[in-house]
Structure 1
């Protein structure tokens, strides 16, 4: 499926993005301002994946969400004390000029109890994405690099199109140093940043 065929909409910043300081006003601050000014909607998920555009993805189908739930259900009993899973908040990465909304991530409850719509990546232990027909390139190619650069210890990618799960660990500067792939039906383990065993037998492939 080509990028054009993928069901994604982008909003370009008019003209070059200026370097206007640090934090929320860092390089790319204008793009973050546009992101924050978007009207609330239940039908779209907004992310900054390339530092130049805001990518809007439609809300996922039921099969996608069921896979998220099946993974979440197995991770929760293994979480460190004081941590929980989250599937709606944005992880904002000003230093990378990126913004992502993972299908699932793990962070301290104290961090998640924020009056903001986003959290920093510093305390995020794990992120997970489930591939959709319209997000193949973003999930398989773009996001592993973003999460590695953000130094998030573990990234789980569930791919119902290829019927496999990839576990990325040991983040380097631009990519994860360890990449393990498991077919649907296999049981896999993660050891860092917490120990968990996931049985993928019930993961659902897209028809």
Structure 2
């Protein structure tokens, strides 16, 4: 019992200001996702979805040829791209002696993909019947929005944490949002699908980042505690 309490206090001691902020972000993302499920599946409100389609339909009519560029942008959170990213990015980070970052990126993509499929099966919302391109699968939440937010948010966080041009972190976040908007533009997702995807992806990223932070920090403390015994 004493050992258990000691380990629990050790974990709680890692709740730094950084982790506290991340937990607040997680709570906000979770609350947003929960609210959207109430809007879609309880209130059955289509007001936001209809408005978003109208705005982006007007943009498509105003800018001929934009659809081709939209399809290019949306590719960067497609299944083929994400599979490649889940293999190439961690491998590159391992080669650069960034083992922890490699695991973080890999688990971000894998976990977000698995969670997205579980949520889609649970909510079982059909896609819009007005899609501009053929798209299989269910609709809520958007996989492109969710996994894209998790992946590019993770990369942005790593750039920010290592102090390498924080502006790139904001650009990556904007890129993830743009990818989500392409799904509404193409009518393969409702706006509520995309917003729920953003919220779920951000929540997953924060949850994973916090868990890895606690795990690695505790491992460092335990190693320091054991090192005198090892060297003695």
TM class by smaller structure: under 0.3
Q: Which has the larger radius of gyration?
A: 2
Q: Which structure's relative contact order is higher, taking Cα pairs within 8 Å and 6+ residues apart?
A: 2
- TM-score, normalising length: structure 2: 0.24
Larger strand proportion, structure 1 or 2? 1
Give the alignment's TM-score, normalised by structure 1.
0.26
